[in-house]
Amino acid sequence: DVKVTQSSRYLVKRTGEKVFLECVQDMDHENMFWYRQDPGLGLRLIYFSYDVKMKEKGDIPEGYSVSREKKERFSLILESASTNQTSMYLCASSRPTETDNYEQYFGPGTRLTVT
Amino acid sequence: QQPVQSPQAVILREGEDAVINCSSSKALYSVHWYRQKHGEAPVFLMILLKGGEQKGHDKISASFNEKKQQSSLYLTASQLSYSGTYFCGTEAEDNAGNMLTFGGGTRLMVKP
């Protein structure tokens, strides 16, 4: 079974703090993604990575950065957390789209509250 | 731009059918469907590739009309286990390869 794990299920941080969200997958997937999920807005892509040290901006990268030093690990960084970054954050991984099966496998999510 | 899903919510009784639609303003290469149960991670249902291919397993199937840039998810003889939020994710032709844009979701509730 593919497993995508996220470092925390719930996190409470103060405005201005630096926040690290960690994601680890155990299926040797090339692609990894960070989404935020807000009611009525669905899943919005923040950043994704298709290889170690490679990253691409998604639809809403402002206020976020990412790091992928190892294939299995993809980190989302909020340099200075703000209240409008309160959300559910979901990590996902997949094989490359050149393969037959490139569905995304999601982690359980981290609910971040910034006060 | 996010694809538009309709309806936003639907309530069914067990055994009834439902259709969830997903429309994009962009030319699409593929459409992906996921289901998320409350408090859980989204789970993959199926991928439809350009070519109008219809797919399905069990009583859940989907179609992709590439001319209209629309996909529909069909749930027949719904079961209680079908409850959850359904998301379509679209892969645009001009950005094919790795990145999906998800719709706002359709919340489905199946009652006994």
pLDDT in tens, A49-95: 999 989 999 999 999 999 999 999 999 999 999 999 999 999 999 98
Query: What pLDDT is recorded for position B52?
Result: 61
Q: Which of A31, A102, A108 sits opposite B41 (nearest CB)?
A: A108
Q: Do A43 and B89 touch (CB under 8 A)?
A: yes
For chain B, say whether A27 makes contact (Cβ under 8 Å). no
Residues 41-70 of B with CB under 8 A from A: 41-44, 47
Query: What pLDDT is recorded for position B94?
Result: 81
Q: Do B42 and A106 touch (CB under 8 A)?
A: yes
In chain A, the residue whose alpha carbon lies closest to the alpha carbon of B97 is: A97
Averaged pLDDT score across all residues of chain B: 90
Residue B21: how many CB atoms within 10 A of its CB?
Answer: 16
Note the pLDDT tens digit of each residue in A24-41: 999 999 999 999 999 888
Q: Which of A81, A43, A41 is nearest to A63 (CA)?
A: A81
Q: Evaluate whether B60 touches B75 at the Cβ level (below 8 Å).
A: yes
Q: Evaluate whether B104 touches B22 at the Cβ level (below 8 Å).
A: no
Q: Do B102 and A31 touch (CB under 8 A)?
A: no
Q: Do A108 and B40 touch (CB under 8 A)?
A: yes
Cis peptide before B7 (omega within 30 of 0): yes
Q: Do B104 and A45 touch (CB under 8 A)?
A: no
